[in-house]
Amino acid sequence: MRRDIFQAIADPTRRAIIALIALQAMTPNAIAQHFDTTRQAVSKHLRILTECELITQEQKGREIYYSLEIDKMKEIDKWLEQFRKIWENRFDNLDKLLAKIKEQKNEQ
């Protein structure tokens, strides 16, 4: 199934998982303890996050440690860029407006 990073972060539990393992790699069991669901449900979320390459896994004995692929998060940032341009531009316009008002004031 073709996964999308925006669909991945749509679920609040997955966002919480992302924030959780951003600090340090964790096992499914350890992650599941933070939520009110079964380990299997968490496992499903981890599968989805893995499919869109937001997280990676490392096997250690019978345990699997999941960690965040922080670079992938930049894709969201990249998408936001087009809008950041707009809201920053808005400030620019405001600055220009204020400068103009100031100028007119000085002319009085």
Partner DNA sequence: AATTTGCGAAACCGAAAGGTTGCACGTATA
Partner DNA sequence: TATACGTGCAACCTTTCGGTTTCGCAAATT
| Binding residue for DNA, selected from 47, 85, 96, 100, defined by CB under 7 A | 47
Rounded CA separation 31/27 (Å): 6
Residue 100 partner contact from DNA, its own copies, none using kind-dependent CB cut-offs of 5 to 8 Å = none
Residue 22 partner contact from its own copies, DNA, none using kind-dependent CB cut-offs of 5 to 8 Å = its own copies
Establish if 10 lies at the interface with DNA (CB under 7 A): yes
In contact, 14 and 73? CB cutoff 8 Å: no
The angle subtended at Cα 88 by Cα 84 and Cα 92, nearest 5°, is 160
Segment interacting with DNA (CB under 7 A) among 55-63, 69-77, 89-97, 100-108 = 55-63
- Residues forming beta bridges with residue 20, ordered by sequence position: none
